[in-house]
Amino acid sequence: MFTRSDSATFSNKWYPLCIRVAAMNSLFSLLLIFLIFEPNFAATTDKQKERKNPRLISLFPQGSHQGSFFDTTVRGEGLEGVHTVWFDCNHITGQVQKVSQFFIQKSRFSRRWEDPGQEILIRIEISPQAAIGVHELRLIADWGISSPLSLVVSSEVNTFEKDDFHGTASTAQPIAVPVNLNGKIANHGEVDFYEFFTSKDEELQFEVLTTGGVLPGSPINLQSPEIILYKPTGSWFDSQKVTRMEVLDESTFLPLPVEGKVLRPRLKHHFTQSGRYLVSVGNVTNKGGAGHAYQLRISKSVSGNPSKMREWTELKQAHVPDFFHWEERSFARKISTDRHNQLWSRTGQLSKVFSNGKLALKNTDQVSIGQKSEKLQWIMDEEPKSSQQQAIPLSLPTVVEGSINQPGDVDYFTFPVETEQGLAFEIETTKQMEPGLSLLLEVLDSKGQRVCSNIYRIVENNSAFWNKFLRPKIIFTFQKKGTYFLRLQDLTSRLGGEEFSYRVLVRSQVPHIGKITLGTLDHVNLVPGEAKKITVTIEKEEEFDHPVVLGFENLPSGVSALPSLIEEVKTSVRDAGPRGGLHKDRFFPQTQKLAFSLVAEKSVLPSAVPYKIRVVARGVVKDRPGMFLPVKDLHLMLIDPSSASVISRLTVGE
């Protein structure tokens, strides 16, 4: 029992210590809370030592013409020590002129921060022999090769947007038609105005080109460009007043594998009066920035003849690999007379399809399906056929080529099937993409009842409603023998015309290897003594149930590819049954994932330029391997390990 003096003595001796302990506990609690809500804090020191793969964000201007040289600005991150400009051909060269630093605005949920980036001024020279189209531009730094940017080479002389303000009708930049102008939506809400003069009865076409989606792995910034024509309608009191013009709009969409679609504005107009007119370029979403570059192209018809207008510009890769990129679940993929040979080359049955590395089938429209020989027919659209009684008979396999000539137009075809016969329906919209042409395919029985369609339905929002999607391919097995009808129409029934054209392939099912993807991976920077994991997704189409093996070609000495196990992805509840997607097997292939690790021995020397390695696949049917199928080319750089310790070699200024 403490006396008063003892109690005072206890207080004087122990109370400050209790205060210190309580304070330490509070600090420990605050630190624990901070670590819980900031999980990246503990790894900050380690992450600061990590080096990111060089990544390119934007390029402006995005190209020029053959036989020219110009300066362009590249923005990116992880470009410390950049020293080489790399292209996909020897007819384009580049030299780093200046490197400076800027800060990249980033955000995640409500958190915002800035990361350091690099801005590189490059002098580019394009020889007269350079191929027309989109080329790869990459930068090589101390820490490897970068992701690509799209550089456009054209045959027409390029002009450039001026730095002066031209965001209103009264400040429009004068241009001479025809023109191929490089511009940029530099700020949010920006609209660029250009002024031009035309003669009476002149036919012009206007298009805005962006490189988003053309080159796999390149950034997509200006996804929804917009172009508008104006004519002056002002009076003596208001000479700057302009009115938007009614024009022929042939805009379309470029579908992308992951990011959705890129809008491609295309306008045509017949000018009945000569004089001054205006064209504006903007962004539907009102967003802008350094990467929102565009090319405005205005061209004339031949002698004012609308039928001789130049074709719309299709931006394509200038150097396409010596194999095609396989695609069969896109409205934009091409259906040709060689479609069956393409399918059978992916079945893994080498002896039936290939001879000495070439297709054994010499007639491109003849193919063997099992024991039966089928000839591919090509049926052109014939009007009218807007009812089942007028349906055009088909002999399978066949390609139907037609168009929705007017709003509400419906096309009917008829074909016979056998019991348990499996058919595949593939759709290509040749000129108009969704939502311009939303082609609805329906198969009806003899009583007019729908048997199947290309509408995929899935429950969304916690079973609150059905969401519906149009799919470009459907497979279906008919249970009953008989005559069936194919009905084609636009889903909305609001639009029509010659440009609303389609191709539909109806054929027997061919089990084959479908699309093989490596995600967005297109380059690998590898340090000797380390490994990089590569995950490959294989789609198996139309009940293809055979093994698929992968390999790598052109690996440098000392680098090997080792397979590794990957956890099997189990089907979730939403993928099957009434609460998921209906008849998912009709619209989507089965998928399989494989993993590899690229391993470099410590003795491997660094590379000054990238190696070009190729990923290949082959099916194994009845223990017999099929033909090698090229999957993708990758750029491999072997990095000097000492560069990992370099903090920065960034130079500022000249």
Q: What is the DSSP string of 13-73?
A: HHHHHHHHHHHHHHHHHHHHHHHHH-TTSTTHHHHHH--PPPEEEEEES-EEETTEEEEEE
**Where is pLDDT greater, at 314 or 161?**
161
Specify the pLDDT at position 323: 67
Q: What angle do CA 426, 431, 437 make, to 5 degrees?
A: 70
Report helix, strand or coil for 351.
Answer: helix
DSSP per position, 60-107 = ES-EEETTEEEEEEEEEES-TT--EEEESSTTEEEEEEEEEEEEEEEE
Q: What is the pLDDT of residues 4-17, one digit of tens each?
A: 344 444 444 444 44
Cβ-based neighbours of 86, under 8 Å, separated by 6 or more? 136, 137, 138, 139, 140, 145, 609, 610
Q: Which two tokens stand for residue 563?
A: 């397979």
What are the tens digits of pLDDT across the range 545-574? 999 999 999 999 999 999 887 765 444 444
Residues 608-624, mean pLDDT to the nearest whole number: 90
Q: Which two tokens stand for residue 15?
A: 């109370």
pLDDT tens, 226-240? 999 999 886 554 557
Return the residue matching tokens 């990758």.
634
Of all residues in the chain, the percent with pLDDT exceeding 70 is 79
Alpha carbon distance 610, 525 (integer Å): 9
pLDDT recorded at residue 379: 78
Kindly report each contact of residues 243-247 with a partner whose C-beta sits within 8 Å and lies 24 or more positions away, as own/partner: 245/269, 245/277
Condensed to tens digits (0 to 9), the pLDDT of residues 172-201 reads 999 999 999 999 999 999 999 999 999 999
Looking at residue 643, what is its pLDDT? 67
* Residue at 281: amino acid letter: V
Poorest-confidence range of 233-242, 450-459, 507-516?
Answer: 233-242
Cβ atoms of 189 and 283 closer than 8 Å:
no
3-state SS, 565-611, equals CCCCCCCCHHHCCCCCECCHHHHCCEEEEEEEEEEECCCCCCCCCCE
| CA nearest neighbour of 246 among 233, 229, 258, 259 | 229
pLDDT score recorded for residue 464: 64
Q: What is the pLDDT of residues 103-150, one digit of tens each?
A: 888 888 888 888 889 999 999 999 999 999 999 999 999 889 999 999
Residue 254: Cβ within 10 Å count: 18
Q: Using the 8-state DSSP alphabet, how is residue 306 labeled?
A: G
Average model confidence (pLDDT) across the chain = 82
In the predicted structure, residue 646 carries a pLDDT above the cut 50: no
Predicted TM-score (pTM) above 0.85: no
Residue 77 has pLDDT above 80, yes or no: yes
**What are 199-212's pLDDT values in tens digits?**
999 999 999 999 88
Classify 563 as helix, strand or coil. Answer: strand
